[in-house]
Structure 1
Amino acid sequence: MSWETWVLAFALVCIIEGLIPFTAPEKWLDAVREIGQVASPDVIRKIGLGLLLVGVSVIWLITA
C-alpha cells in the first residue's frame, strides 16, 4: 500500500468524523456529555479497542 492510500484513508476518516459535529453540533455535544456521564473510562477503552480491532481486521482482510 502506498503512502497516498494511507493519506486518503486518513482524509476519509477526518471527513466521516467531522460530519456529525458540523451538521448537528448540539446533538453531538449532548451525546458526548451523556457518554462521559454514563460510561466509565474502562468501558470507553473497551469500545476503543473494539473499534481498533474491527478497523485492523478490515484492513487485513482487504489487503490479504
Structure 2
Amino acid sequence: MEFFAALCLVLVIEGLLPFIAPKVWRETMTKVAQLNDGQLRMVGLLSIVVGLVSYWITTALIG
C-alpha cells in the first residue's frame, strides 16, 4: 500500500509543472529531447542517487 501511495505522489509531483507553467514545461521538455543518450543517462543516474539518498536520510531520521 505504501508503494502505491508513493506512485500516486510521484504523479502529483510530475503534474505540478505542466499545470502551473505549461510553456516553461514544454520548453524544458524540448531541451531535454535534444540531449544525447549519455547526458540523459547522467540525468537519470543523478535522479536515482538523489532519490535514494533522500529516502535513506528520511528513514534514518524517522525510524
TM range (shorter): 0.7 to 0.9
TM-score (norm 1): 0.73
CA distance in 2, matches of 1:27, 1:62: 30
| Runs of 4+ more than 6 Å apart | none
Structure 2 unaligned residues grouped into runs of 5+? none
Q: Which residue of 2 aligns with 1:54?
A: 50
Structure 1 unaligned residues grouped into runs of 5+? none
Q: Give a deviation string over 1:29-54, Cα, whole Å, max 9, x none.
A: 111112223x2121111110111122
TM-score (norm 2): 0.74
CA distance in 1, matches of 2:54, 2:31: 29
Q: Which residue of 2 aligns with 1:43?
A: 39
* Identity in percent: 35
State the number of aligned residues. 60
Mapping of residues 1-64 of structure 1, within 5 Å: 4-37=1-34, 39-63=35-59
